[in-house]
Structure 1
């Protein structure tokens, strides 16, 4: 292949990706000031529809395996916290108040919780029970997960993956890169593009999460105690630069700073 075409390829690829992408502002900045344009290659509607379908499958499978927690006190406790957090979602995006919010409590030893696009959520009993979470700490967990959905981080990651795959496929076709070469290119692209952005997503979700909690009347400082508990359960975690999550030290420091920043909102909501 001629050197002229090789030299032109990066510009051609960039133009192809640019045509497919659009820059959007998924949320307002809030008091914590999260304000960043995001490049998207897939529509919000498509991601929300796929999330709703996936959620229904997960719930159906959990019901089949008798993994849906039916303890009324736990379910009502979680639902009450979600309702208060979701009521504050309009601060960041007005359409979120019209989402069909759902939350399931899943009986599992996993220390996990998540929120899909459109407000489809779950929290695992292992997280609540093993860490002996307070209501404020549950609000910290769920506020963080809700923040991922509000910021459409799943849609953004899908879009980044699509853009990367376009580059890998076109490069492979043009330069004759075999399967092994494409796999290596994929790993390089992942470390170069996905991991730093994933850490950014975690930081954004932390900051929005503490604001949601504060506005809902939950102590935002509980995010710090929560991650202290998480740190005690994750010894031997990979260093920050090889992880999709910020290090515990970095995370605790940032959470403490932003929790203090939103304390006036917490006090306005009736906290002390």
Structure 2
């Protein structure tokens, strides 16, 4: 029986994270765009339904808890009283009320925000609203509150748009396991203690899942939208990516490895400022024409 469970887990992992070959063809009907306040996004993919949302969120909750527990045991989980934890949680409190416009289910998510003391220049938001920041991204980039909001908005947007769920469903379909998907996913996401060791490493898959260019574009724009509605300057997104580019030039590393940068990405954000700045200005009780220039805290070249 144990061998069968491990076989199911192995097949599930293969289905969820295998090489994509025909998933694009399966998803053709999901590519039409919809427009919300001028921001174009794809409809939520039907392929995501291959992965039951309740089980996905349960798995994410379990693995997030495990990650934070391990961080605490190692003495690297910052306590709630830490200024950076308080800062990020305050920013999240302003952003979270803006999320339902992109995914109504977000009103039912059990949101959490924690900070791990690590040099990693990264952050993530697991399905169901479980957010993690590494101190490396805060200190290496000297992020302002607006820039933290841009990072947080981006990560939350991946969860709102269900990108990981879509990718998992797409890869399940690609590998011809769609019919077995429910049973196999249950094999991973169940609470059977006999397989908790096997799925322990799955946390890294949530945090390190590589998204497509379309996913990243959506996360950038949707993330800046919800940040702007919360009263954070969307121009911080441009400053953020320029900081990351500068950091990478000084010491080439896999910065934000799941989120490739590039001038085209910045250009996308710049081309939407005519939509995002009025939203931000309204949140600040002014007009876009009266907004002062955005100022970061690091000289950018």
TM-score range, shorter chain: 0.7 to 0.9
Q: Report if the CA contact (8 A) 2:30-2:42 is conserved.
A: no
Match in the other structure for 1:6: none
Tell me how far 1:205 sits from its aligned partner.
Answer: 0.3
Q: Residues 251 and 24 (structure 1 numbering): CA distance in 2 closer, same or farther, change over 3 Å? A: closer
Q: Deviations over 1:108-162 (max 9, x none)?
A: 0010000000000101111001110000000000000000000111101111221
Query: How many Å separate the matches in 1 of 2:120 and 2:135?
Result: 8
**Residues 241 and 261, structure 2, Cα contact 8 Å, conserved in 1:** no
Give 2:107's match in structure 1, choosing from 71, 90, 97.
97
Question: Per residue, is there more helix in 1 or in 2?
Answer: 1
Contact 1:112–1:124 under 8 Å retained in 2: yes
Instruction: Report if the CA contact (8 A) 1:198-1:245 is conserved.
Output: no
Q: 1:34 aligns with which of 32, 41, 48?
A: 41
Q: Which residue of 2 aligns with 1:123?
A: 133
| RMSD (CA atoms) | 2.9
Which is higher, the Rg of structure 1 or of structure 2? 1
Q: How many residues align?
A: 224
Q: CA deviation at 1:98?
A: 2.3
User: 4+ residue runs of structure 1 moved beyond 6 angstroms?
Assistant: none
Match of 2:13 in 1: none
1:74 to 70, 84, 88: 84
- Structure 2's unaligned 5+ residue stretches are 1-21, 178-208, 286-290, 292-301
Q: Given the superposition, is the C-alpha separation of residues 155 and 131 from structure 1 closer, same or farther in structure 2, using an over 3 Å criterion?
A: same
SS in 1 for 2:113: strand
Provide the rounded CA distance (Å) in 2 between the counterparts of 1:256 and 1:216.
19
Question: TM-score, normalization: structure 1?
Answer: 0.74
